[in-house]
A and B are shown apart, each in its own frame.
Chain A
Amino acid sequence: DADVTQTPRNRITKTGKRIMLECSQTKGHDRMYWYRQDPGLGLRLIYYSFDVKDINKGEISDGYSVSRQAQAKFSLSLESAIPNQTALYFCATSGSGQASYEQYFGPGTRLTVT
């Protein structure tokens, strides 16, 4: 089974709707991240969480909110979706306690806002 899972994998929604993207991990990592990817722009950080009680805004948090329900679960919400939030969304995890850790990514959620 995959270490980092995301649901749904694809979603089409209408402008103004609330939508939640979910991420679960079995790696036992403390740190979790949400990114969005747009063609040619690379991955941009939306929110990150270093543990259940530590949630921080990333580069592009406006229009998004998150919830860290447990060490293994980190959800991203779009309170009122707009078309320019159409993108590929990735959840990632990493360890902690050392100087540097690689990040492990989920398979992504392709979100289309019409």
Chain B
Amino acid sequence: SQKIEQNSEALNIQEGKTATLTCNYTNYSPAYLQWYRQDPGRGPVFLLLIRENEKEKRKERLKVTFDTTLKQSLFHITASQPADSATYLCALESAGNMLTFGGGTRLMVKP
């Protein structure tokens, strides 16, 4: 069956360090992969989209990689700040623009 795995344990890092979050998937051939940020009690907010033929995408302090051979995406936040503390969701997009979401990883950036 199709499965998307994100580390369910919270990731705790020190301010200024690079946070790296992982999204692994099985039995999918996604054309696109998206990352969202979700703050407590709020709806997810879109961050980045990467296509299957792109290896890497950047936006300000954010970087996403997409390895279709390993079936993995990495999401990096450089120079992390306490304001980056949130839950980050990966979502795989398959035919018909339908998204399937992972369970999310909570990031805590300590000052």
Stretch of B10-18, B57-65, B71-79, B95-103 lying at the A interface: B95-103
Q: Does B46 sit at the interface, judged by CB under 8 A?
A: yes
Pairwise interchain contact A102-B34, C-beta atoms closer than 8 A: yes
Contacts across chains A and B counted by CB atoms under 8 Å = 52
Pairwise interchain contact B43-A42, C-beta atoms closer than 8 A: no
Pairwise interchain contact A43-B31, C-beta atoms closer than 8 A: no
Query: A31: which B residues are within 8 A, CB to CB?
Result: 97
Query: A45: which B residues are within 8 A, CB to CB?
Result: 98-100
Give the size category of B's interface with A.
20 to 34
Bound Cα distance A26, B3 (Å): 33
Looking at the assembled complex, report how far the CB atom of A70 sits from the nearest CB atom of chain B, in whole angstroms. 21
Pairwise interchain contact A102-B49, C-beta atoms closer than 8 A: yes
Q: Does A114 sit at the interface, judged by CB under 8 A?
A: no
Looking at the assembled complex, report how far the CB atom of B48 sits from the nearest CB atom of chain A, in whole angstroms. 9
Show 6 A/B contacts (Cβ-Cβ < 8 Å), sorted by A.
Answer: A42-B101, A43-B91, A94-B97, A99-B31, A101-B97, A102-B34
